[in-house]
Amino acid sequence: MDARDRLESLTTTVPGVIFQWFERKNGQRGFYYVSPKIKDYLGITAEELVEDWSRIQIHPDDMAVWQQSIDQALASASDWNFEGRFIVANDSVKWWRGISTPVRVTDTETVFNGIIVDVTAEKEAEAALRAATWRMELAVRGTNDGIWDWDFEQDTMWFSPRWKAILGYEDHELPNEHETWRNSILPEDQEDAWRLARAYNSGEIDEYLATHRYRHKDGTLRHLLSRATHIQDENGKVTRMVGAVTDISELIAAREQAVQANKAKSLFLANMSHEIRTPMNGVIGLTQLLESTDLSCEQREYVNAISASGQSLLVILNDILDLSKIEAGKLVLDPSPCSIEGLLTELGQLFRPMHYRKGSILRSICRFRRFQPYWWTLPDCSRSSRTWSETPSNSPTTERSRSQQPTQTTGCDSKSETPASESPTTDSRRFSTASRKPTLRRADNMEAPAWA
């Protein structure tokens, strides 16, 4: 193989176009030699370019910079290096990079021996990377999060400007190194962060999610919520860990304020309940004393109603004291057998005066008492009693004429209280309750009916 064959073999295998370019002081320029590979690159043969170099169309925006680079290489006798764009067929654009060493052959001529490389794919990849980086930066700005990147293989750390800004620093004030993180996080939280990172990278936990405290530049503490993911190589080894932090200090402060407000509310309700309980016990005690005196049937029913209402109010006060249990989800109901007859009798005594004044009769309660008392197991007797008490108080009423209004008496004659439309027998079953005080009784020694 002679020298020419060796040259052709070399030029066809080199990943680029080899050229020899000349520049003369009189302004003449052109190619002495161009390798045949130029046709694959620009669609122009080497012979055509040697004959007329202007067949190459340099992008108009790059022409001035290209000329400046040649002038600078000639003036300094230094290597020539340039990146630009060629316009090829169909007005498409190809990026190229030229590298050469100028050699002064005469006082009037300088020759550039070099190579031209197609860098279109590289430039497109760089453009795609810039676009992706810009999109990620916009997304990070939108979320207001700080980004950190820990490269295990290089043992380096990087913190985004937003990460540093969350702690009150400019980008140049904190170096991108491990000490920045160690000096920012509280010592008591640092060990927990290391433990979580080891557990996540070893596969013990599925995600890295934690809240830790960091020192702000002004000396205050910031609560930062950290989320992270890791990158593994083909062998499953963790090589990188990337994460984001969100400042949730205001959320933590708001939660603490809510907790304090809730404690103050519970304390107020407890104190109020105790303050009301004292006079309420006095009212109940006086009604018990009043029951031991000589009362008419009607008066005794009123006293019984007052006593029942007082007992109900005490139960409500107990519920107020149990508010903390409700908020903690620890309130336990007391299912127990309850006398439905006792519950309805109590309601009848409580609402009888009110419904007589409105002109209505508690038929459902009174008719139920015609039957034997039934015992049902209710979720909670005291709470069921208060729930049922809403029914008579909200029931519709019917107006009656004054001639039908019950006459007020001081004796125990139930007939005098009987409305015109009701018989004495029915009325005695409905309202003759002075002989005993209705209470909620447990069915410890009684059998429930077959249908219950």
Q: Kindly report, residue by residue over 197-226, the tens digit of the pLDDT.
A: 999 999 999 999 999 999 999 999 999 999
Long-range contact pairs involving 419-424 (C-beta distance under 8 Å, separation at least 24): 419/361, 422/361
Cβ partners under 8 Å of residue 386, min gap 6: 312, 315, 316
Q: Compute the average pLDDT of residues 182-209.
A: 93
- In the block, tokens 């009769």 appear at 361
pLDDT at res. 440: 37
The Cα–Cα gap between 145 and 243 comes to 10
CATH class of segment(s) 249-330: mainly alpha
Q: Does the pLDDT at position 269 exceed 70?
A: yes
In this structure, is the dihedral angle defined by the CA atoms of residues 356, 360, 365 and 371, taken in order, positive or negative?
positive
Tokens for 84, please give them.
């630009």
Question: What is the DSSP secondary structure assignment for residue 317, as one 8-state letter?
Answer: H
Contact 212, 125 (CB under 8 A): no
- The CATH 3.30.450.20 portion of the chain extends over 16-120, 144-247
- CATH T-level topology, domain 16-120: Beta-Lactamase (3.30.450)
Distances in whole angstroms, Cα of residue 378 to Cα of each of 156, 298, 443, 451: 68, 31, 12, 15
- The CATH 1.10.287.130 portion of the chain extends over 249-330
Tokens for 372, please give them.
């034997």
Q: Compute the average pLDDT of residues 94-111.
A: 93
**β-bridge partners, 109:** 24
Q: Does the pLDDT at position 434 exceed 60?
A: no
Tokens for 263, please give them.
């404690």
pLDDT at res. 69: 94
Low-confidence winner among 70-79, 93-102, 213-222, 315-324 (lowest mean pLDDT): 315-324
Low-confidence winner among 15-24, 71-80, 192-201, 357-366 (lowest mean pLDDT): 357-366
> Which of the residue ranges 54-68, 321-335, 353-367 has the most confident prediction, judged by mean pLDDT?
54-68
| Neighbour-count burial for 16-37, b at 16+ CB within 10 Å, e otherwise | bbbbbbebeeeeeeebeebbeb
Q: Does the pLDDT at position 406 exceed 80?
A: no
Q: What is the pTM of this model?
A: 0.47
Low-confidence winner among 190-204, 249-263, 410-424 (lowest mean pLDDT): 410-424
Q: Count of CB atoms within 10 A of residue 401's CB?
A: 8
- CATH T-level topology, domain 144-247: Beta-Lactamase (3.30.450)
Q: Above pLDDT 90, what percent of the chain?
A: 41
pLDDT at res. 327: 65
Comparison of pLDDT for 22 and 413, the residue scoring more: 22
